[in-house]
Amino acid sequence: MNPSNQPPSTTIDRRQWIGGVTAAAGALALNQAASAQESVAKNGRIRQSLVQWCYAPYWNLDEMCLVAKKLGCVSIELAPPEDWPTIKKHGLTCAISPSHLFVQGMNNPRYQPGCIDMLRKRIDQAADAGVPTVITFTGYAEESGDWADGNNPDLDQLPPNRRVIDPDEGMKNCVAGFKKIVGYAEQKKINLSIEMLNTRAGDHPMKGHPGYQGDHVDYCMDIIRQVGSPRFGLLFDIYHVQIMDGDIIRRIGQCGEAINHVHVAGNPGRGELDEAQEINYPPCMKALIDIGYKGYVGLEFIPTRDPMAGLTQAVQLCDV
């Protein structure tokens, strides 16, 4: 753990990032997808999902659903509840629901009541809609002012030298906080998935999160073991794990059934899963199959070129 990591001066969440991007011309790629005779994914042993915030600048929701189906993906994930009926209309699911964001989380008792209320609401909505999993986060080590109603606060408006929560204290707080809500998740048969995020990449607000407390697999796994519920597991984001810990295939085996959701992107840069990045994805997918993983793999990369071409390549690589 690195408790001295400080949050960046400007924090942007997934929704803010989408709003700041000029929509690209995605019509050509969509037409190419629509003209395909069969889906790109052939094996189907890995259930692949499009992460909505990454591709929202290129396609509206209906278009994105058509793209997903042509690729052989079965989900549009991290979509808000108001989008779930549209996703379902296209015969897809939302693999994982959003909840509170990553700056204010369970590691700080000041934010726990808001996080728990939001998680409870999302659990109810997920149970009603057949969404299997709800995302959650440890939060940043440094305090970030008043509760921001589940959003990321404007850190530029806060004074410097705010209190920093020690990693051991943060873990203890997370365990106590998640134990207050995990029983409700068990009752509703909904999974909670805590995401490990990297704190090294600081060149883009969605490529890394300096200041995030749960920035190592072992730290998040310790929280999961102490909470001790089959409904509380790890969001194993291979991009973030590669940056902070590496040794991906061995770690997949060590985490085993604690992994209840997976994200992928190229490193460095959180771009496409192509030859310009360092992660060899087919063996990683085979490692997931070897541990009996039955969950979803979310394609969460930031396109640097034609998004349909990048997604097609990613789907093919992950379709082992």
For 171-225, what is each residue's pLDDT tens digit?
A: 999 999 999 999 999 999 999 999 999 999 999 999 999 999 999 999 999 999 9
Helices (H), the chain: 14-19, 27-34, 52-55, 61-71, 84-89, 112-129, 167-188, 217-227, 238-244, 248-255, 281-290, 307-318
Q: Which helix (H) or strand (E) holds 233?
A: strand 232-237
Q: How far apart (Å, rounded) are the C-alpha atoms in residues 72 and 79?
A: 18
Ordered domains of the chain (ranges, CATH): 14-318 (3.20.20.150)
CB atoms within 10 A of CB 248: 19
Structure tokens at 313: 């390549």
Tell which wins on pLDDT, 30 or 247: 247
Q: What distance, in Å, lies between the first and last C-alpha atoms of the chain?
A: 34
The residue with tokens 């002012």 is: 145
Express each pLDDT in 141-170 by its tens digit.
999 999 999 999 998 889 999 999 999 999
pTM for this one? 0.90
Per-residue pLDDT, averaged over 83-87, amounts to 98
**φ, ψ at 97 (rounded to 5°):** -90, 145
Q: Please check whether residue 7 is in contact with residue 211, taking contact to mean a CB–CB distance below 8 angstroms.
A: yes
